Structure 1
Amino acid sequence: MSQGGPPQEVRFCRSADGTRLAFAVHGAGPPLLLSCCWLSHLEFDWESPVWRNFLLDLGKLATVIRYDERGFGMSDWDVSDFSLEARVADLEAVVDAAGLDRCAMVGMSQGGPVAITYSVRHPDRVSRLVLYGTYGVLVRNTESEELERTFQQLIKVGWARPDSTFRRVFTDLMIPGATEEQAGWLDALQARATSTDNAMRSRAARAEADVGALLSEVSVPTLVVHARGDRMNDFSDGRELVSRIPHARLVTLDSENHITLSDEPAWPVFLEELGAFLAADGVAAASTPAALRTLTAREIDVLRLVGRGSANAEVAQALSLSLRTVERHLSSIYAKLGLTGRSARAAAVARLLSS
Structure 2
Amino acid sequence: MGVVVFRFGQYALDADRRRLSRDGQDVDVEPRALELLCHLLEHRDRVVPEDELRDRMGRGDTVSEAVLAAWLRTARLAVGDSETRQEFIRTVHSDGYRFVAHATVASTASPTPPTNPAVAAAAEADREVIRFCRSADGTRIAYALTGEGPPLVKTANWLTHLDLDRTTPMWAHWFDGLTRGRQLIRYDERGCGLSEWTMNSFTLDDLIHDLDAVADAAGLDRFPLLGVSQGGAVAVAYAASRPERVSRLILTAAYARGQLIRAGNDTERDAAEVDLNIARAGWRSHDSSFLRYFASQFLADATPAEWDAFAAYQRQTTSPANGLRFIEEFTRIDVSGIAHRVTCPTLIVHSRDDARVPVAQALELATLIPDSRLILLESRNHLFTASDPAWPTFLSHLENFLAE
**TM tier, shorter chain?**
0.7 to 0.9
Please name the residue that 1:91 is paired with.
211
Following the alignment from structure 2 to structure 1, what is the Cα–Cα distance between the partners of residues 344 and 156?
Answer: 19
Q: What whole-Å deviation, never above 9, does each CA across 1:196-220 have from its counterpart, x for those lacking one?
A: 1111112111122101111211100
Q: Percent of counterpart pairs with the same letter?
A: 39
Q: 1:62 aligns with which of 178, 182, 192?
A: 182
1:100 partnered with 2:220: yes
- Measure how far apart 1:46 and its partner are: 1.1
- When residues 239 and 163 of structure 1 are mapped into structure 2, their CA distance, relative to the original with a 3 A threshold, is same
Q: 8 Å contact 2:152–2:226 — kept in the other structure?
A: yes
- 3-state DSSP of counterpart to 2:180: helix
Following the alignment from structure 1 to structure 2, what is the Cα–Cα distance between the partners of residues 144 and 90?
Answer: 32
Q: 8 Å contact 1:228–1:254 — kept in the other structure?
A: yes
- When residues 246 and 69 of structure 1 are mapped into structure 2, their CA distance, relative to the original with a 3 A threshold, is same
Q: Give the structure-2-normalised TM-score.
A: 0.65
Please name the residue that 2:107 is paired with.
none
- 3-state DSSP of counterpart to 2:216: helix
Q: 8 Å contact 2:232–2:251 — kept in the other structure?
A: yes
Following the alignment from structure 1 to structure 2, what is the Cα–Cα distance between the partners of residues 251 and 72?
Answer: 31
- Root-mean-square deviation (Å): 1.9
- Measure how far apart 1:36 and its partner are: 3.5
Following the alignment from structure 2 to structure 1, what is the Cα–Cα distance between the partners of residues 310 and 278?
Answer: 15
Amino acid in structure 2 at the alignment position of 1:98: A
Q: What whole-Å deviation, never above 9, does each CA across 1:81-138 have from its counterpart, x for those lacking one?
A: 2221211111111111111011100011101111111111111111100011101134
Q: Give the structure-1-normalised TM-score.
A: 0.74
Please name the residue that 2:306 is paired with.
182
1:34 partnered with 2:133: no
Name the one with the larger helix percent: 1
Any unmatched runs of 5+ in structure 2? 1-16, 18-124
- 3-state DSSP of counterpart to 1:123: coil
1:140 partnered with 2:260: no
Following the alignment from structure 1 to structure 2, what is the Cα–Cα distance between the partners of residues 240 and 231?
Answer: 17
- Measure how far apart 1:181 and its partner are: 4.9
- 3-state DSSP of counterpart to 1:10: strand
The number of equivalent residue pairs is 277
Equivalent residues in 2 for 1:169-208 (5 A)? Answer: 169-208=293-332
Larger relative CO (CA 8 A, sep 6+): 1 or 2? 1
Following the alignment from structure 1 to structure 2, what is the Cα–Cα distance between the partners of residues 75 and 135?
Answer: 24
Amino acid in structure 2 at the alignment position of 1:111: G
Amino acid in structure 2 at the alignment position of 1:272: S
- Measure how far apart 1:6 and its partner are: 2.2
- When residues 214 and 92 of structure 1 are mapped into structure 2, their CA distance, relative to the original with a 3 A threshold, is same
- When residues 185 and 84 of structure 1 are mapped into structure 2, their CA distance, relative to the original with a 3 A threshold, is same
- Measure how far apart 1:145 and its partner are: 3.6
Q: 8 Å contact 1:174–1:257 — kept in the other structure?
A: yes
1:112 partnered with 2:232: yes
Name the one with the larger strand percent: 2
Amino acid in structure 1 at the alignment position of 2:379: S
Following the alignment from structure 2 to structure 1, what is the Cα–Cα distance between the partners of residues 250 and 284?
Answer: 31
- 3-state DSSP of counterpart to 1:212: coil
Larger Rg: 2
- When residues 83 and 146 of structure 1 are mapped into structure 2, their CA distance, relative to the original with a 3 A threshold, is farther
Q: 8 Å contact 1:33–1:103 — kept in the other structure?
A: yes
Amino acid in structure 2 at the alignment position of 1:105: L
1:244 partnered with 2:368: yes
